[in-house]
Structure 1
C-alpha cells in the first residue's frame, strides 16, 4: 500500500521538482558568470601581465581567501590582473588599500603572488 498522506505527497513533489531542476540546469550548461569567467581567464593568458616581479603596486583588496599554503591572503587587481598578497596584517579587510611587492607569477602568468608592504 502506497502512503497517501499530504506530507508524503508534498515531499515527493518537492523532491521530483528539485531533481527536474538539477537536470534542466545541467543540460543548459555553464552559467553566464561561469562563461564570462572562462573568457576572462583565456584573455588573461594571451596578454602580458601588467605587473613586474620585484615591483610594488597599490590596489584595493577585493576579497580575503585561503591560499593553497593554508594562510589567509588578500586578493586584489592591478589593471584587471589578479594579485594574491600574503603576510597580511591582522585586521586587514575587503576594501582596504594596500601596497604589495610582486614575488612571482602563477602558472600561465594569469595571476601573481605578492607580499604585503604597507597599508596605503
Structure 2
C-alpha cells in the first residue's frame, strides 16, 4: 500500500519538481552569459597580447581581489586585456587609475601579472 498522507505527497511533489528543474537545466546547457564568457576567453587566446613584459601601462582598477599568490591585487584592463597588479598600496579602490609594470603572462597568455608602480 502506498502512503497517501499530505506530507508524503508534498515531499514526492517537491522531489519531482527538483528533478525536473535539474533535467531542464542540463538540457538547456550553459547560460547566455557563460557562452559569451567562453567566446571572449577563446578570442583572447587567439589574439596577440596588447602588453609587453617589462613595459609600464596605465589603467583603471575595475576590482580588487585575492590572487593565487594569496595577496590582494588590483584588476584592470589594457585594451580589453586583463592585468593583475600586485604590491598595491592600502586605500586603493575600484575606479582609481594606476600604473603597473608587466612581469609575466599567465597560462594561455589571456592575462598578465604586473607590479604596482604608482598612481596615475
- Indicate whether the TM-score tops 0.5: yes
Gaps of 5+ in 2: none
Task: Tell me the equivalent position of 1:109.
Answer: 109
Aligned residue for 1:98, secondary structure, equals strand
Task: Tell me the equivalent position of 2:3.
Answer: 2
Distance 2:3 2:68 in 1: 51
Q: CA deviation at 1:97?
A: 1.4
* Deviation beyond 2 Å, 4+ runs, structure 1: 1-6, 8-19
Q: Aligned pairs, how many?
A: 119
Alignment of 1:72-87 (within 5 A): 72-87=72-87
TM-score computed with the length of structure 2 as normaliser: 0.86
Instruction: Output the aligned Cα RMSD.
Output: 1.9
TM-score computed with the length of structure 1 as normaliser: 0.86
Residues 1:89 and 2:89 aligned together: yes
